[in-house]
Amino acid sequence: MTKRTPNGFTLDNSGKRIVVDPVTRIEGHMRIEVNVDENNIIRNAVSTGTMWRGIEVILKNRDPRDAWAFTERICGVCTGTHALTSVRAVENALGITIPDNANSIRNLMQLALQVHDHIVHFYHLHALDWVDVVSALSADPKATSALAQSVSDWPLSSPGYFKDIQIRLKKFFESGQLGPFKNGYWGNASYKLPAEANLMAVAHYLEALDFQKEIVKIHTIFGGKNPHPNWLVGGVPCPINIDGTGAVGAINIERLNMVTSIIDQIIEFNEKVYVPDIMAIGSFYKDWLYGGGLSGKNVLAYGDVPEHANDYSDVSLKLPRGAIVNGNLAEIHPVDHADPEQIQEFVTHSWYKYPDETNGLHPWDGVTEPHYELGPDAKGTKTNIEQLDEAAKYSWIKAPRWRGHAMEVGPLARWVVGYAQNKAEFKDPIDKVLTDLGLPVSALFSTLGRTAARALESSWAGHQMRYFQNKLVANIKAGDSSTATIDKWKPETWPKEAKGVGFTEAPRGALGHWIKIKSGKIDNYQCVVPTTWNGSPRDPEGNIGAFEASLMDTPMCDPAQPLEILRTIHSFDPCLACSTHVMSPDGQEMARVQVR
Amino acid sequence: MTAAETFYDVIRRQGITRRSFTKFCSLTAASLGFGPGAARAIAMALEIKERVPVIWMHGLECTCCSESFIRSAHPLVKDVILSMISLDYDDTIMAAAGNQAEAILEKTKETYKGKYILAVEGNPPLNEGGMFCIDGGRPFVEKLKWMTEDAFAIIAWGACACWGCVQAAQPNPTQAMPIDKVIFDKPIIKVPGCPPIAEVMTGVVTFITTFGKLPELDRQGRPKMFYSQRIHDKCYRRPHFDAGQFVEEWDDEGARKGYCLYKMGCKGPTTYNACSTVRWNGGVSFPIQSGHGCIGCSEDGFWDNGSFYERLTSLHQFGIEANANKVGLTATGIVGGAIAAHAAVTAVKRITAKRKKADV
pLDDT band at A583 (very low <50, low <70, confident <90, very high): very low
Q: Indicate yes or no: CB of B251 within 8 angstroms of CB of A483.
A: yes
Q: What are phi and psi of B183, to 5 degrees?
A: -120, 120
How many contacts, defined by CB atoms under 8 Å, are there between A and B?
357
Question: Global pTM?
Answer: 0.91
How is A6-25 classified by DSSP, letter by letter?
A: TTS-EEE--SEEEEE-S--S
Residue pLDDT, tens place only, A101-140: 999 999 999 999 999 999 999 999 999 999 999 999 999 9
Q: Indicate yes or no: CB of A235 within 8 angstroms of CB of B175.
A: no
Q: Over range A550-573, report the average pLDDT.
A: 98
Residues of A whose CB is below 8 A from B124: 593
Closest to A209 measured CA to CA, from B205, B85, B82, B155: B82
Task: Output the average pLDDT for chain A.
Answer: 95
Q: Could you tell me what percent of chain A has a pLDDT over 70?
A: 97
| Res B315: pLDDT | 58
**Which residue from A23, A213, A258 is facing B97, i.e. has the nearest CB?**
A23
Residue B39 clears pLDDT 90, i.e. is over it: no
Q: Over range B272-282, report the average pLDDT.
A: 97
Residue pLDDT, tens place only, B142-169: 999 999 999 989 999 999 999 999 999 9
Q: Over range B68-92, report the average pLDDT.
A: 95
| Res B31: pLDDT | 53
Tell me how far apart the alpha carbons of residues A50 and B331 are, in angstroms, rounded to a whole number.
40
Enumerate residues 6+ apart whose C-beta is below 8 A from B5. Answer: A168, A171, A172, A175, B82, B83
Tell me how far apart the alpha carbons of residues B289 and B235 are, in angstroms, rounded to a whole number.
9
Search chain B and give the residue with CA nearest A127: B95
Tell me how far apart the alpha carbons of residues B265 and B312 are, in angstroms, rounded to a whole number.
6
Residue pLDDT, tens place only, A473-496: 999 999 999 999 999 999 999 999
Residues of B whose CB is below 8 A from A52: 125, 132-133, 174
Does residue B282 belong to the interface with chain A, where contact is any CB pair within 8 Å?
yes
Tell me how far apart the alpha carbons of residues B235 and B219 are, in angstroms, rounded to a whole number.
24
Does residue B281 belong to the interface with chain A, where contact is any CB pair within 8 Å?
yes
pLDDT band at A1 (very low <50, low <70, confident <90, very high): confident
How high is the ipTM of this complex? 0.95
Residue pLDDT, tens place only, B194-211: 999 999 999 999 998 888
φ/ψ region of A317 (left if φ > 0, alpha if ψ in -120 to 50, else beta) reads beta
What stretches of B85-208 adopt beta strand conformation (E)?
A: 85-90, 116-121, 134-135, 138-139, 151-157, 188-191
pLDDT band at A291 (very low <50, low <70, confident <90, very high): very high
Q: Indicate yes or no: CB of A216 within 8 angstroms of CB of B71.
A: yes
Residue pLDDT, tens place only, A325-349: 999 999 999 999 999 999 999 999 9
Search chain B and give the residue with CA nearest A252: B256
Residue A92 clears pLDDT 50, i.e. is over it: yes
Q: Over range A376-396, report the average pLDDT.
A: 97
pLDDT band at A515 (very low <50, low <70, confident <90, very high): very high
Q: Could you tell me what percent of chain B has a pLDDT over 70?
A: 75
Residue B188 clears pLDDT 60, i.e. is over it: yes
Residue pLDDT, tens place only, B294-303: 999 999 999 9
Tell me how far apart the alpha carbons of residues A143 and A157 are, in angstroms, rounded to a whole number.
11
Element (H, E) at A71: helix A67-72
CB A576 within 8 A of CB A49: yes
Residue B340 clears pLDDT 90, i.e. is over it: no
| Res B329: pLDDT | 34
Residue pLDDT, tens place only, A137-192: 999 999 999 999 999 999 999 999 999 999 999 999 999 999 999 999 999 999 99
Contacts 24+ apart (CB under 8 A), B14-20: none
Q: State the nearest Cα–Cα gap between A423 and chain B, in angstroms.
A: 34
Q: State the nearest Cα–Cα gap between B33 and chain A, in angstroms.
A: 32
Residues of B whose CB is below 8 A from A584: 173
| Res B328: pLDDT | 33
Q: Over range A293-301, report the average pLDDT.
A: 98
φ/ψ region of A221 (left if φ > 0, alpha if ψ in -120 to 50, else beta) reads alpha
Q: State the nearest Cα–Cα gap between A479 and chain B, in angstroms.
A: 15
| Res A498: pLDDT | 98
Tell me how far apart the alpha carbons of residues A18 and A43 are, in angstroms, rounded to a whole number.
11
**B216: which DSSP letter?**
P
Tell me how far apart the alpha carbons of residues B285 and A225 are, in angstroms, rounded to a whole number.
7
Poorest-pLDDT segment among A184-198, A254-268, B41-55, B321-335: B321-335
Residues of B whose CB is below 8 A from A385: 134, 137-138
Q: State the nearest Cα–Cα gap between B354 and chain A, in angstroms.
A: 20
Q: State the nearest Cα–Cα gap between B162 and chain A, in angstroms.
A: 16
Residue A584 clears pLDDT 50, i.e. is over it: no
